[in-house]
């Protein structure tokens, strides 16, 4: 059974889902954009017999506090610091890490700073390589190199309903994706201040790419057991990014599934089986 809790971390209410026995190995699940921990709603029950699962909503996402950008810096460094403090508040000192999309730069920052915490990593369309950046990133590089208000405003389309539905459905088989996930994410876009804080994170994403060499150095040094499972039809983080993990971490297994960016929407049971098999 999944339970739904909140905890105060750094003056913020952090919402999280928890399932499985605390006597089992813990897995920390870190969501992506434009989602929240509800993206794990199908995976968590499929893993709860083998793992103790913790899935928080980042500040500014889902059910967690969303302070004003005037009082909270929406950067990946800051989100990583809050989630690090969340982990410490729950007294999690060893765990498996599941990262997806935005969760990857947050999770790898935590892993770099606390390598002793990490028992293994699942990266599901969680990119840390230049090879994994799809064509859209060239346009973002122009925005980062030559930012203007007009270019910033142009990224409001990133959380338009049509875009979010496309993120969920592109690269998947027809009629295989439930509307529940993307409709909830669309609802979250209507909350106060959502657009501006997300635009701050889109601009700050450049610092994740600059940190890729550090993330890769962590892998080369510590060689964690790593499962890179990828929706192979993802146009944002293309599957060569999954293959690239092998270059730095000899304990890597790469699995491609016939899905898109939100591979859990169509392959949660398949991915759960992969995780249980690889980390048995």
Q: Residue 201 sits in which domain range?
A: 3-278
Active site residues per annotation:
261
pLDDT at residue 22, as a whole number = 97
b or e along 40-61 (b: 16 or more beta carbons within 10 Å of the residue's beta carbon)? Answer: bbbbbbbbbebbbbbbbbbbbb
Tell me if 63 sits within 8 A of 8, measured CB to CB.
no
Q: What is the pLDDT of residue 136?
A: 86
Model pLDDT, residue 280: 83
Please report, in tens digits, the pLDDT of each residue of the chain (280 residues total): 999 999 999 999 999 999 999 999 999 999 999 999 999 999 999 999 999 999 999 999 999 999 999 999 999 999 999 999 999 999 999 999 999 999 999 999 999 999 999 999 999 999 999 999 999 899 999 999 999 999 999 999 999 999 999 999 999 999 999 999 999 999 999 999 999 999 999 999 999 999 999 999 999 999 999 999 999 999 999 999 999 999 999 999 999 999 999 999 999 999 999 999 999 8
Concatenated DSSP letters of the chain: --EEEEEEETTEEEEEEEES-TTSPEEEEE--TT--GGGGTTHHHHHTTT-EEEEEPPTTSTTS----TTTS---HHHHHHHHHHHHHHTT--SEEEEE-TTHHHHHHHHHHH-GGGEEEEEEES---SGGGB-THHHHHHHHHHS--HHHHHHGGGGGSHHHHHHHHHTTS-TT-S-HHHHHHHHHHTTSTTHHHHHHHHHHHHHHHHHHHHHHHHHHHHH---EEEEEETT-SSB-THHHHTHHHH-TTEEEEEES--S-THHHHHHHHHHHHHHHT-
Rounded Cα distance, 137 and 36, in Å:
23
69: number of Cβ within 10 Å = 16
For residue 76, what is the domain's CATH number?
Answer: 3.40.50.1820
Separation of alpha carbons 269 and 172, rounded Å: 16
Number of domains in the chain: 1
Indicate yes or no: pTM above 0.95.
Answer: yes
Nearest to 111 by CA among 224, 193, 200: 224
């Amino acid at each position: 059974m999944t339970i739904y809790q909140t905890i105060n971390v750094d003056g913020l209410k952090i919402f999280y889902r928890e399932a499985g026995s605390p006597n089992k190995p813990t897995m920390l699940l870190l969501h992506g954009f434009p989602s929240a921990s509800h993206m794990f709603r199908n995976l968590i029950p499929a893993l709860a017999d083998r793992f103790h699962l913790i899935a928080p909503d980042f500040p500014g996402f889902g059910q967690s506090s969303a302070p004003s950008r005037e009082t909270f810096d929406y950067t990946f460094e800051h989100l990583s610091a809050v989630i690090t403090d969340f982990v410490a508040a729950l007294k999690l000192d060893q765990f498996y890490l599941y990262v997806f999309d935005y969760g990857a730069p947050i999770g790898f920052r935590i892993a770099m700073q606390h390598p002793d915490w990490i028992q293994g990593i699942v990266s599901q369309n969680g990119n840390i390589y230049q090879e994994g950046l799809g064509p859209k990133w060239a346009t973002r590089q122009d925005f980062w190199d030559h930012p203007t208000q007009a270019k910033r405003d142009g990224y409001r389309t990133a959380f338009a309903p049509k875009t979010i539905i496309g993120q969920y459905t592109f690269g998947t088989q027809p009629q295989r994706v439930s509307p529940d996930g993307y409709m909830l994410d669309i609802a979250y876009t209507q909350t106060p201040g959502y657009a501006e804080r997300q635009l701050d994170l889109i601009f700050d994403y450049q610092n994740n790419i600059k940190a890729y060499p550090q993330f890769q150095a962590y892998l080369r040094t510590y060689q964690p057991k790593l499962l890179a499972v990828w929706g192979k039809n993802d146009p944002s983080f293309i599957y060569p990014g999954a293959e690239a993990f092998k270059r730095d971490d000899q304990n890597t297994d790469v699995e491609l599934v016939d899905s898109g960016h939100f591979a859990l929407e169509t392959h949660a049971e398949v991915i759960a089986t992969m995780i249980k098999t690889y980390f048995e």
